[in-house]
Each structure stands twice: as structure tokens, then as C-alpha cells.
A and B are shown apart, each in its own frame.
Chain A
């Protein structure tokens, strides 16, 4: 069964304190892995798509990486405005109609 597990559930960082969020997945042939940011009471905002192991994508203070079993979202020198829930989802090669979502990591960055 396709599955996505995100860790930690919650993360508190001091402004400027870099860290990483983990997304472990099992899927029958990965077609794509997606990262989203979700603010409270709002819809998820698309961040990145990764397709193959070794691929990396960057956007401002965020960098997403992918291996055959997991993805990391690295946050460098975070600011309070980076506080949000970060969601990971996978799309299988044999079931392209669906995304399987993890439960998210709730990030809080304090000044």
C-alpha cells in the first residue's frame, strides 16, 4: 500500500536556526513527490515537484532533496514568516490519478 510518513509532527526553531523536515514514502514506482506549504485556515500552496533520486530544487530559504526512500525539506536560516505546516505527497506511476499525502510537519519559527 502506498504510504507517506512525515517527521517530526511539530518543530520549533529559533530564527536563523537551520533544520530539515523528513518525508518517508513507500510507493509502487514513484512518478513524483510534491511539497506544499499550508498556512492555518488556507489551502496548500505548491512548492516543489521532485521526480528522481538525486534531484534537488530550491526556493529562497527552502531546498528539497529526494532519495529512493525519502525526501528532505531543508530550511536555511528560517524567518518567522516561514512558520506553517509543510505537506508532502507522492504520486505513483501506476495510479497517476491520486496523490497520497502525509499528515504534515507544523513548523514554528520564533524571533
Chain B
């Protein structure tokens, strides 16, 4: 089955730790995206990548980093510099206009 997978589903982090969220797609899509979702707010774009080895900052990139070494993979690292990292993180991919989303990772900082 083609689709987007994210792991883990739940992640707990202690303050001061870096954590990496995984996103993999087998849809052969060129573009991939990371969003953050908080209660009462719309999805906010963190980073996106249109092609391998290239990525751009979105609206809220501070405290996050990404890499795009393979077309299928777009991992997101939440660094200790991110002041309020507890949120639901969503990965998406697209070939043309429509973006398709993965199941999400819920990150909680303890």
C-alpha cells in the first residue's frame, strides 16, 4: 500500500533533549512538509523540501532542523532550543497541489 508513515506515534522527551521524528513515504512524491498542530490553531508549517538535498524554512522553523538525503525520507529533529515543543506533529507529501498527510506523532515534554 502506498502511503506516509510517521514514527513513533507517541514520544516523550525530557527538557534539554533533542528528539528526531521519522517520516517516510512510498508515494514517489517530490515534496515533503512538516507541520505542527496545537489546540485552537491551524496547522503551521515548520520546514518543507521540494527536492532531495534541499529544504526551506517555514513559518515556525526556530528550534527545529531537518534533512532530506533520500526522496522517501524527511526526518524532523526537535532541538532543546524549541521552547514549547509539546504538540502534534504532522508530515505531508505532495506531487502537484494536494498534500497528503501521515498519521502524526504526539510529542510531550516532561
Q: Which residues of A are in contact with B by a Cβ distance under 8 Å?
A: 4, 31-32, 34, 36, 41-46, 49, 87, 89, 91, 96-104
Judged by a CB distance under 8 angstroms, whether B28 is at the interface is: no
A89 to B92, CA, bound (A): 14
Judged by a CB distance under 8 angstroms, whether B13 is at the interface is: no
The residues of B that contact A100 with a CB separation of less than 8 Å are: 42
The residues of A that contact B45 with a CB separation of less than 8 Å are: 98-99
Instruction: Name the interface size band of chain B.
Output: 20 to 34
A34 to B98, CA, bound (A): 8
A43 to B6, CA, bound (A): 10
Interface of A is mostly: strand
Tell whether A46 pairs with B98 under 8 Å between CB atoms, given A97-B50, A98-B58: yes
Tell whether A43 pairs with B50 under 8 Å between CB atoms, given A101-B43, A103-B40: no
The residues of B that contact A87 with a CB separation of less than 8 Å are: 42-43
Tell whether A42 pairs with B103 under 8 Å between CB atoms, given A97-B50, A101-B42, A103-B40: yes
A41 to B39, CA, bound (A): 12
Query: Among the interface residues A44, A87, A96, A100, which one has the most CB atoms of the partner chain B within 10 A?
Result: A44
Find out whether the CB atom of B48 lies under 8 angstroms from the CB atom of A43: no
